[in-house]
Amino acid sequence: NAGVMQNPRHLVRRRGQEARLRCSPMKGHSHVYWYRQLPEEGLKFMVYLQKENIIDESGMPKERFSAEFPKEGPSILRIQQVVRGDSAAYFCASSPRGVVGPGGVNIQYFGAGTRLSVL
């Protein structure tokens, strides 16, 4: 399967527990992005990572959320002490490159998402 793989597809947590969402980018892609979608809304950027580096985390809540993309293995979005407001669909995307030149387009390819439900 050459696509962006996310797991689990569905995750149920009780308030106060931790949620770990995993994302394996497309083969050959070294740039990973995480987005969150609340019901009836568009996707909101959270964080942009390259291998072992966080490039831009301007969309991440200041507390309880963290992300990593280690040298080996998938990218992980971690939410500590989940609250009901964290219930959403979390999408990961990948691209083969980052910055493009004038007139260029960097296409991000998305996974199927993880639907987090906090009870």
Interacting residue ranges for other proteins, rule: CB under 8 A: 4, 6, 31, 33, 35, 40-45, 48, 55-56, 58-59, 91, 95, 98-100, 102-113, 115
What is the closest distance, in whole angstroms, from the C-beta atom of residue 74 to other proteins in the complex? 16
What is the closest distance, in whole angstroms, from the C-beta atom of residue 103 to other proteins in the complex? 5
Residue 7 or 17 with smaller CB distance to other proteins = 7
Rg of the Cα trace of the chain?
A: 14
Residue 1 or 58 with smaller CB distance to other proteins = 58
> What is the 3-state secondary structure of 9-77?
CEEEECCCCCEEEEEECCCCCCEEEEEEECCCCCEEEEEEEECCEEEECCCCCCCCEEEECCCCCCEEE
What is the closest distance, in whole angstroms, from the C-beta atom of residue 19 to other proteins in the complex? 18
